[in-house]
Amino acid sequence: MISDKMTDLVNNSSVIRAMFEEGKRLAGIYGAENVYDFSLGNPNVPAPKAVEDAVREVLEEEKSTVLHGYMSNSGFEDVRAAIAASLNRRFETAFDWSNIIMTVGAAGGINVLFKAVVNAGDEIITFAPYFGEYRAYAANVDAKLVVVSPDTSSFQPKLEEFERLITPRTKAVIVNTPNNPTGVVYSEETIAKMAEILERKQKEYGTVIILFSDEPYRELAYDKTEVPYLTKYYANTVVGYSYSKSLSLPGERIGYLVIPDELDDSETIKTACNVATRILGFVNAPSLMQKVIGRCVDVDISDNTEAYNRNRETLYSGLKELGFECVPPKGAFYLFVKTPIDDREFCERAKKYNILVVPGSTFGCGGFVRIAYCVSHDTIVNSLPKFKELAAELGLI
Ligand code: PLP
């Protein structure tokens, strides 16, 4: 009964979500404190208090018919202006409210942009390992996802291969830094080189190639690592942001797109994104959360980043001591750990110790597993003896 296209998508449906369900099942049997569920990027650190205060204030202070009513499909103008001003302060950009389109999280933003600009048969390039949902987002617009193979020694993008894979059908390139699943941050030098390649290829083919910066983890960077703001390096950049991770609000479904004036055909693309937001069925991003965000654009999230950083350090050094190998992560809240055996088999073996991790093949990079450390610090500490048993079983120690 279901469509052919959905049949494929259902069959390839998220392994991560399946793991999450498995975690709930195991918690029911062994107790939640005895299950080490590192499967989902669902922040364990609560939203900052300022966010909860803002929810109350918005309900008390905003006129109810405005707050709960329809607005422009791109969102409330005052909220978009507050976001633009915050970006300008932080990244020396020059956006105004019209450059911002409120979205239903990062996922909503990517789908809106693709709906607006991608034709069937177009190619969208990304770099392995990559967020597996990109496959479904490309399929939604009948585009082909073209994947640059991973450099497993650094997880920095392979730029020569990237250049070779750009064709006249390349419509967009997705980069995600800080990266899910590796935690790697692309340096300014890498971004500048990538921009140079894109400029060259646009000229060669007479096309426009959009660089899409998928950046839900922008603020989650450690060791004072700089995360370059991509619109400053390449004119045809679109940014997709989400508050799911930085403010621990994944269930609230709120984020935005930045469509800069410098983007080729910017005005038409803004209009198309506005219409795409409506016709994809979102109509607009959740109004209460838009207003909350309008008051929280510059909220201090250092408590959250400190908690993740502590988890990162404990888990990274703990696993290294046990003989596991991993490129040091500089951002997001994931470790991407090399597996001495097939990654899916590794996940099955880990389950015996009530450890739930996700196979790298889900991210287009077998031989690794992703460990999401956005869990309580106790979970990290208590999991290490279990990882030790696993390491022993695998002959690492
Ligand atoms: N992009 C990346 C790289 C992600 O890791 C995620 C979520 O984990 C998303 C997009 C989707 O985020 P959102 O919950 O804001 O839709």
Contact 330, 324 (CB under 8 A): no
The percent of residues in the chain predicted with pLDDT above 70, rounded, is 100
Please tell me which residue, 20 or 24, carries the higher pLDDT value.
Answer: 24
Q: CA-CA distance, 33 to 31, in Å (whole number)?
A: 6
| Beta strands in 70-109, from DSSP E residues, in sequence order | 100-103
3-class secondary structure, 203: helix
Q: Which among 333, 386, 108 is positioned nearest to 242, based on CA atoms?
A: 108
DSSP state of 119: P
Helix H or strand E segment including 238? strand 237-242
Measured between alpha carbons, how far is 80 from 72 in angstroms, rounded to an integer?
A: 11
Measuring CA to CA, which residue among 92, 306, 291, 118 is closest to residue 212? 118
> Which of 110, 180, 184 gets mutated to test ligand 1 (max ligand atoms within 8 A of its CB)?
180
pLDDT at 258: 99
Q: Ligand 1: distance of its center to the CA of 65 in Å? A: 31
The pocket around ligand 1, CB under 6 angstroms, is made up of 41, 105-107, 131, 176, 180, 214, 216, 242, 244, 250, 255
50 has pLDDT over 70: yes
Give yes or no for residue 229 having a pLDDT over 70: yes
Give the torsion through C-alpha atoms of 300, 303, 304, 306, to 10 deg. Answer: 120
Place of tokens 């207003």: 291
User: Per-residue pLDDT averaged across 207-214, rounded?
Assistant: 98
For the segment 218-223, the average pLDDT, to the nearest whole number, is 98
Query: Position 197: which residue type?
Result: I
